[in-house]
């Protein structure tokens, strides 16, 4: 079994977006969600390779959805989190929160 890895920032953004979008997470919407909620503009290429990497590492499952005419008849590729991803996300969040808490940059502090 591999050592427990720390998630990178971009990986977290993508995983969280996938989490939020439930069953509707495909690259176009993932990117939009990240922009809308986090105010971060990620390049499309970054999204794709991150999704690819996360899937290969076992954090995401993918499936193909229905083609639509707007897409020239091409299917969408939907992603969802695996249990491993959830564990990793929680761990990351805990790690960050524990470091953030009671620092001068914490939200709420002047």
Partner 1 sequence: MSQRRSCVRLLLRVVRFVAPRRWGESVEGDLEEEWASGDVGRERTGRPRVGEVLAIVARFAWLRLADALDGRRGINRSSRRTKFGGSAGGTMLRHLRYGIRALVRQPAVSAVATLSLTLSIGAGTVGFSLVDGLILRPVRGTTDPEQLVALFSGNAQRPYGSVSFPDYRDYRASSDALADLAVFLSTDVEQDDQAGPERVHVEVVTANYFAVVGAPAVVGRAFVETEDRVGEAGVTVISHRFWKQRFGSDPTVIGRRIRMRGRPFVVIGVAPERFRGVTLASRPDLWVTTAHVGLLVPDFGAGVLERRHWSVWRGVGRLRPGQSADRATAQLRVLAAELERRDPGRFPRVVTLLPLQDAAFPPGSRDVVRTYATGLVMVVGVVLLAACVNVANLLLARGWARRRELAIRRALGADRRELFGQLLVESSIIAAAGGVAGVVLAVWLMPTVSQIQLPALVAVDVSLDKRLLTFALGLSSAVGLAFGVSPALRLSRADFLPAISPAPVAEGRHPVLTARRLFLMAQVALSVVLLVGAGLLVRTLLALQAVNPGFDPQALVAARLDPERSGYSTESATSLLTELQSHLTAQPAVAAVSLSSYLPLEPDDTSRINAFVNDGAMNVVGFNLVARDYFATMRIPILQGRTFTADELARGSVIVISDAMARELWPGQSPIGQFITTRQGGQRWEVIGVAADVKSKSLRGSDEPYMYIPFPRVPKMFNSSIHLVVRTTGDVAGSGLIRQALQTLNAKVPVLEETTLPARVAASTARERQSAAALAGFALLALGLALGGVFGLASYGVERRTPELGVRMALGASPVRILALVVGQHVMLVAIGLAVGLPAAAAAAQLLAGQLYGVSALDPWTMGGVSIAIAVSGISATVIPAHRATRIDPVAALRRE
Q: Is 8 in the site for partner 1 (CB under 8 A)?
A: no
Q: Please, which contacts does 30-35 make with residues 24 or more away whose CB atoms are closer than 8 Å?
A: 30/79
**By CB under 8 A, residue 45 contacts partner 1:** yes
By CB under 8 A, tell whether 27 contacts partner 1. yes
Spatial separation of the C-alpha atoms in residues 37 and 52, rounded to whole Å: 22
46 binds partner 1 (CB under 8 A): yes
Which of 20, 77, 80, 91 touches partner 1 by CB under 8 A? 77
Are residues 14 and 54 in contact, defined by beta-carbon separation less than 8 angstroms?
yes
Among 5, 37, 61, 71, binds partner 1 (CB under 8 A): 71
Neighbours of 76 (CB within 10 A): 17
Using CB under 8 A as the binding criterion, the count of chain residues that bind partner 1 stands at 26
- Dist. CA 50–CA 8, nearest whole Å: 10
If one asks whether residue 67 binds partner 1 (CB under 8 A), the answer comes out as yes
Does 39 engage in binding with partner 1 (CB under 8 A)? no
* CA pair distance 97, 66, nearest whole angstrom: 39
Question: What residue ranges bind partner 1 (CB under 8 A)?
Answer: 26-28, 31-32, 35, 43-46, 48-49, 52, 56-57, 62, 64, 67-68, 70-72, 74-77
């Amino acid at each position: 079994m591999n050592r427990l890895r720390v998630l990178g920032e971009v990986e977290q953004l993508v995983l969280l977006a996938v989490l939020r979008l439930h069953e509707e997470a495909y690259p176009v919407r993932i990117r939009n969600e990240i922009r809308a909620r986090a105010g971060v503009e990620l390049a499309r290429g970054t999204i794709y390779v991150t999704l690819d990497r996360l899937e290969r590492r076992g954090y995401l499952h993918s499936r193909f959805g229905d083609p639509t005419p707007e897409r020239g008849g091409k299917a969408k590729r939907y992603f969802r989190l695996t249990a491993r991803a959830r564990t990793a996300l929680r761990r990351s969040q805990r790690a960050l929160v524990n470091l953030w808490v009671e620092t001068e940059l914490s939200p709420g502090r002047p």
